[in-house]
């Protein structure tokens, strides 16, 4: 059982939520023990108040099958407009929950599924274990280099804040 408690560091969870506040397509890597591992684009439906990520997936998809064998996933988030990037590692679980499915359903999902009642649909819940971010500080990608090179901060010479997010 995962004993990770995001409430121990709510600032870390808020940082992740701020970085992924826009609905975006992310890349979800699975079958991490194999080289090359599998990658597929997925639309993040929600990051809930507990910090779990929610996606829709087909029961017949490779991702569904991969999670059956090994539930470890790596999620790569890229927001080129804001110059924010996030790598999340976590454990995925298949969830069959009709109420949650209806709550998260959007009409655009009809492009992949036959409506909210499609028996092929399963939710995937990802519990984040580890997070690393790059944040270009308000689109200031060409900012002035840091004055104190001996500063042990998590900023690089381009003004990009980066580092692990404590959860």
Please write the tens of the pLDDT for every residue from 82-103.
Answer: 888 999 999 999 999 999 999 9
What backbone phi and psi angles, to 5 degrees, belong to 6?
Answer: -65, -20
Average pLDDT in the 28-43 region? 94
Percent of the chain with pLDDT over 70: 81
pTM of structure? 0.80
Identify the pLDDT of residue 110: 94
Closest CA to 90 of 47, 126, 114: 126
Average pLDDT in the 36-41 region? 95
Cα 122 to Cα 40, 48, 83, 127, 161: the distances in Å are 16, 17, 32, 16, 36
69 has a pLDDT exceeding 80: yes
More confident residue, 132 or 18: 132
Domain extents in the chain: 6-164
Identify the pLDDT of residue 150: 32
pLDDT band at 6 (very low <50, low <70, confident <90, very high): low
Protein fold of 6-164: Pnp Oxidase; Chain A (2.30.110)
**In this predicted model, what pLDDT tens digit does every residue of 105-162 receive, in sequence order?**
999 999 999 999 999 999 999 999 999 999 886 544 433 333 333 333 455 555 678 8
Radius of gyration of the CA atoms of the chain, in A: 17
How far apart CA 49 and CA 154 sit, in angstroms, is: 27
1 has a pLDDT exceeding 90: no
How far apart CA 13 and CA 19 sit, in angstroms, is: 10
Identify the pLDDT of residue 157: 53
Identify the pLDDT of residue 145: 35
Closest CA to 28 of 79, 68, 69, 62: 62
Identify the pLDDT of residue 158: 57
How far apart CA 125 and CA 109 sit, in angstroms, is: 17
């Amino acid at each position: 059982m995962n004993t990770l408690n995001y409430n121990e560091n709510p600032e870390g969870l808020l940082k992740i939520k701020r970085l992924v506040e826009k609905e975006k397509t992310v890349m979800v890597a699975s079958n991490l023990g194999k080289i090359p591992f599998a990658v597929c684009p997925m639309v993040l439906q929600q990051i809930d108040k507990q910090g779990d990520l929610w996606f829709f997936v087909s029961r017949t998809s490779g991702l569904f099958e991969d999670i059956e064998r090994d539930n470890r996933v790596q999620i790569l988030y890229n927001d080129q407009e804001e110059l924010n990037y996030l790598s999340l590692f976590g454990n995925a679980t298949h969830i069959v929950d009709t109420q949650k499915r209806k709550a998260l359903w959007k009409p655009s999902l009809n492009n992949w599924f036959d409506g909210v009642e499609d028996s092929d649909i399963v939710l995937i819940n990802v519990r984040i274990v580890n997070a690393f971010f790059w944040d270009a500080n308000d689109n200031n990608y060409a900012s002035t280099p840091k004055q104190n090179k001996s500063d042990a901060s998590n900023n690089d010479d381009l003004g990009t804040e980066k580092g692990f997010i404590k959860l």
